[in-house]
Structure 1
Amino acid sequence: MSDGSLKIERIDSCHEEFEQQLAGLRHRLSPRGDVVSEESRQRTIEVFGEPLSPAQVVERICQRVREEGIDAVLEYGLLIDQVELDAESLRVSPEEIARAHQQASEEFLQTVRRVRENILQFQAAILHEDVTIQREEGVELTQRYLPVERAGLCIPGGAAAYPSSLLMTAVPAQAAGVKQLVVIAPPTPFGANNPDLLAVCGELGIDEVYRLGGAQGVAALAYGVDGIAPVDIIVGPGNLFVALAKKYVYGEVAIDSIAGPSEVVVIADESTRPAYAAADLLAQAEHAPGASILVSWNAEVLEQTYQQLCRQVVQLSRSDLTIQSLEQYGALVLVEDAEQACEVTNLVAPEHLHIAIDDPQPLLDKIQHAGATFLGNYSPVALGDYVAGPSHVLPTGGTARWAAGLTANTFLKSGSVIRYSQEALRQAAADVQRMAETEGLTAHRASIDVRLEGQ
């Protein structure tokens, strides 16, 4: 923006190419798109010798980790993260965690404790409980919920430190009763070497932390390698490579969702404060990459917010990267009315939706697809990012059409428990026998018949 103006895509519903532009935007943001930083693109060429797509990179890394184990993990750590580690230094020692916790400021730890309490209160309130019904005498049916034994938590650490992501993944897991929590974060000053992140590990009682990120980290958690036992579920946000790696290993382990690069849709009208809306758009774009989309039926508010974006972005510490995100993945969308604004939002199915107007409820009632929704001019997304209580680990790339954000329930597996008495079996027998005969499964019928002999 050498001339002081941002080159953000403008999409107008009155134009013929509206649907085509909208489809293009959705594709760029989807897991099939290419939402990666320029640094990542260059690193791919350096490491693999060719401009592979993110999906190709992930497949190659995961296959090698599965076949070669810890050797492949360490090699990719050197090639991609440019940090040389061995099997011993890969794990952060308990002494390092304890030292970071001891050296953390009391103000920071007090904030961590308040945030933890907020998260725990919300997550415990929504936790599934066992349900038992008595259908008739002698029939007892239970749906039982049990936590997984071992969960892997992916914590980003490339461009910024995210102790908040540790809280937003670990505390819901603890609310669910998970006993073993394994943290992976890149071997960087913002990742597993970050004292604030390690201090939060100490505060939460987590002592299994690895200097390991990217697709190789996800693969190590899924398949297990020397020194790292496999987990039952992998959760947490990350760049596109992490998101696609989670998708790749799904089925070997459970995952929470495809939580890739951050995104927000802000819906604005004449009651929206343009300065507030611009700040919310910038808050997601500064993740770099991060997608920021403004939707309004008021052209004046759209323009005023754009001017605020130009004014505010130059004041940010990560201004250059934020501008890059806005110009590559941002959009200003002018629609006909509130109804069409909701239609566009449902098509995008954003990670974050901020209905930044004074009367948001009528629009909320029309929204079907959004990971987390924030209502009114005084509910910025940053509240959800840090302190509110629902986890900020949310589906991205349009997957909010079918996926949900991480909760304590993500860490539960459900199973049914069925108990029939002898008399209850006798009463149900004819229906079981008839269904078994219909399907031609004689052994199924025999398992009933043998219990009825002599009755």
Structure 2
Amino acid sequence: MKIYNYTDLSQSKIKELCSRQIEDDKLVEERVEDIIKTVKIDGDKALFNFAKAFDKVELYKLFLDAEELKTIASTIPDYAKKAIETAYQNIKAFHESQLKTEDKVETMPGVICWRESRAIEKVGLYIPGGTAVLPSTFLMLATPALIAGSKEIIVCSPPQSDGKTNCYLAYCAVLLGIDKIYLIGGAQAIAAMAFGTQTVPQVYKIFGPGNRYVTTAKTMVQNKVAIDMPAGPSEVLIIADETANPSYVAADLLAQAEHGSDSQAILVATSNEIIAETLQEIELQIKRLPRAEIAAKAISNSYAVLVSDLETAMSYSNEYAPEHLILATESNESLIPKIVNAGSVFLGNLTPESAGDYASGTNHTLPTSGFAKAYSGVSTDAFLKKITFQHLTQEGLNNIGSTVEILAASEGLQAHKNAVTIRLNTVKGLK
């Protein structure tokens, strides 16, 4: 892990450190474009071929049905079942609290306006496989979709080597009442949900994190289908002062690093000692990790920044716009108002980012690569549309009519003006 002193960094260097640019981005784009085109043309045939080429599995059908999922789910250990159920209840409670009914507003006497929510009817959920299967992502995406009231929920996840899914994902499906998992991964899953195939239904919006191929595919299909956000390789930025616990900080950095070799784990600290002790802890802890090789690659591509104060640390964090922001500081409350760009925030030394990843209740599908400057994480709202309504009484028409007539005439739109004038004449008893 490289160490930088903030005072030595130019603005261009700060932007470079915050850019997350990867050398072969262009190559990824070309490959994804080809995958999408192939799925559009060949449909199911392409999906079977990609499963064989990328997942090294020869599939005989592209999904597991309710009975198959129930059989696989029955093999889950009791302790894992209880953990999934606890996480589900917390996620459900937090996301149910987001359902709000808005008040009607009388903008002027007789002119009433309001909004109502409607569920997005057909949604696609991508559950990553790759180097780690994520039942937590299944819970994070399907729970708010169900709370919102989406009628058709299409779930795609890469097949295992046996052409099935694991017991954890299967149990999530059974618990949530989802009766089918499509055995499709990568960019091809995104293409299938965006355009539809003989087997996979087309959806209106796609959700879920993934690797660079998945993220690139999501951005490429946006002219056909909505997406939740660009959500690529995972990242964390930790702001630490002299009160931080280096072993905790190291553990949190490694928790992100083990996601993948392209993950980023950034430490911004006010103390040289904290940086040095954290790096020592990383060396100790990483040796005991089953995914040590992956974590080591990510750590080697990550860095620490020494700053003079928390104000500067916060400024750097807002420029970086992290997916996960941990405040390992004593003065958390005073820093909260200064947070402008972040996906999800974890306050204090006893709040590990892992809590949000799994079971505190907040959603872990979050914007990465600086997109926290413009995007929010997944919520119940992400599965809803807002439809506006308005109703004019006779009083309202009289009050607002001349304003609309004048504005319509100023824009040269006579029919717009007439739509008001005819009504006004009618209510006034004029022809």
Which TM class, normalised by the smaller chain length? over 0.9
SS of the residue corresponding to residue 259 of structure 1 reads: coil
The aligned residue for residue 442 of structure 1 is 414
Q: 2-side partners of 1:22 and 1:427: how far apart?
A: 55
Q: CA RMSD in A?
A: 2.0
Cα distance in 2 between the residues matched to 1:430 and 1:190: 71
Using the TM superposition, give the Cα deviation of residue 321 of structure 1 relative to its aligned residue in structure 2, in angstroms. Answer: 1.1
User: What corresponds to 1:209 in structure 2?
Assistant: 181
C-alpha separation in 2, matches of 1:79 and 1:342? 45
1:129 equivalent in alignment to 2:113: no
Does the 8 A contact of 1:161 with 1:190 survive in 2?
Answer: no
Displacement of 1:379: 0.1
Match of 1:292 in 2: 265
Instruction: Label 1:427 to 1:20 Cα distance change in 2 as closer, same or farther (>3 A).
Output: closer
> What's the TM-score once normalised by structure 1's chain length?
0.89
Residue of structure 1 in register with 2:22 after alignment: 34
Q: Deviations over 1:155-213 (max 9, x none)?
A: 01100121011011111111212222111011125996212111111111011210101
The one-letter amino acid paired with 2:380 is A
Matches within 5 A, 1:305-316: 305-316=278-289
Comparing 123-132 and 265-274, the one that deviates more: 123-132
Q: Are 2:13 and 1:25 aligned?
A: no
* CA distance in 2: counterparts of 1:228 and 1:96, whole angstroms: 18
Deviations 1:201-239 (A, max 9, x none): 111101121010111101111111111111111111111
Tell me if structure 1 keeps the 8 A contact 2:267–2:304: yes
Q: For residue 24 of structure 1, what is the amino acid of its counterpart? A: E
Change in CA separation of 1:262 and 1:190 when aligned onto 2, cut-off 3 Å = farther
Distance change in 2, residues 1:246/1:131 (3 Å): farther
Q: Secondary structure at the match of 1:67?
A: helix
Question: 1:53 — aligned with what?
Answer: 27
Maintained 8 Å contact 1:233/1:255: yes
CA contact (8 A) 2:408 2:416 kept: yes
Query: Are the aligned partners of 1:138 and 1:421 in contact in 2 as well (CA < 8 Å)?
Result: yes
For 1:206-285, list aligned pairs within 5 A: 206-285=178-257
Letter of the 1:345 partner, please give it.
S
CA apart distance, 1:423? 4.0
How far apart are residue 136 of structure 1 and its match? 4.9
CA distance in 2, matches of 1:158, 1:165: 13
Letter in 1 for 2:293: D
Letter of the structure 2 residue corresponding to residue 34 of structure 1: I
Kept in 1, the 8 Å contact 2:74–2:167? The answer is no
Could you tell me how far apart the structure 2 residues matched to 1:179 and 1:143 are?
21
Gaps in structure 2 of 5+ consecutive residues: none
* SS at 2:239 equivalent: strand
CA deviations 1:319-371 (Å, max 9, x no partner) are 1111011112x111112221111111111100001011232222222121110
Contact 1:138 1:424 in 2 (8 A): yes
Stretch moving more, 102-111 or 139-148 = 102-111
Distance (whole Å) between structure 1 residues aligned to residue 252 and residue 274 of structure 2: 15
Match of 1:47 in 2: none
The answer to whether the aligner puts 1:71 opposite 2:45 as a matched pair is yes
Correspondences of 1:329-368 after superposition (within 5 Å) = 330-368=302-340
The residue number in structure 2 matching 1:416 is 388
What amino acid maps onto 1:25 in structure 2? L
For the pair 1:171 / 2:171, whether they are aligned, the reply is no
Cα distance change on mapping 1:21 and 1:104 into 2, 3 Å: same
Give the conservation status (yes or no) of the 8 Å contact 1:185–1:191. Answer: no
Contact persistence 1:162–1:190 (CA under 8 A): no
Secondary structure of residue in 1 paired with 2:74: helix
**Distance in 2 separating the partners of 1:191 and 1:126:** 37
Q: How does 1:1-16 map to 2 (within 5 A)?
A: 8-15=1-8
TM-aligned CA deviation for residue 81 of structure 1: 2.2
The one-letter code matched in structure 2 to 1:12 is: N
C-alpha change, 1:131 and 1:69, in structure 2 (3 Å) is farther
Report the CA distance between 1:251 and its aligned residue. Answer: 3.7
Alignment size in residue pairs: 426
Within 1, Cα distance between the matches of 2:410 and 2:110?
27
Does the 8 Å contact 1:236/1:256 carry over to 2? yes
User: Helix, strand or coil: the match of 1:131?
Assistant: coil
Work out which of the residue numbers 263, 271, 276 in structure 2 matches 1:303. 276
Deviations along 1:48-86, one digit per CA (max 9) or x if unpaired, are xxx952222222222332233223333323222232335
Asked if 1 retains the 8 angstrom alpha-carbon contact of 2:103 and 2:114, the reply is: yes
2:242/2:270 contact within 8 Å kept: no
Counterpart position of 2:403: 431
Inter-CA distance 222–364: structure 2 relative to 1 (3 Å threshold):
same
How far apart are the structure 2 equivalents of 1:190 and 1:310? 36
Match of 1:451 among 411, 423, 428: 423
1:404 equivalent to 2:376? Answer yes
Q: SS in structure 2 opposite 1:404?
A: coil
Structure 1 residue 104 displacement after superposition: 2.1
The corresponding residue for 2:71 is 99
Residue 160 of structure 1: aligned partner: 132
SS of residue matched to 1:392: coil
Equivalent residue of 1:283, what SS?
Answer: helix
Aligned pairs for 1:138-157 within 5 A: 138-157=110-129
Which deviates the most, 176-185 or 367-376? 176-185
Q: 1:213 to 1:452 in 2, by over 3 A?
A: same
Q: For structure 1, which segment, 274-283 or 421-430, has the greater mean C-alpha deviation from structure 2 after superposition?
A: 421-430
Is residue 394–residue 406 contact of structure 1 (8 Å, CA) maintained in 2?
Answer: yes
TM-score (norm 2): 0.94
Give the Cα–Cα distance (whole angstroms) in 2 for the partners of residues 190 and 20 of structure 1.
49
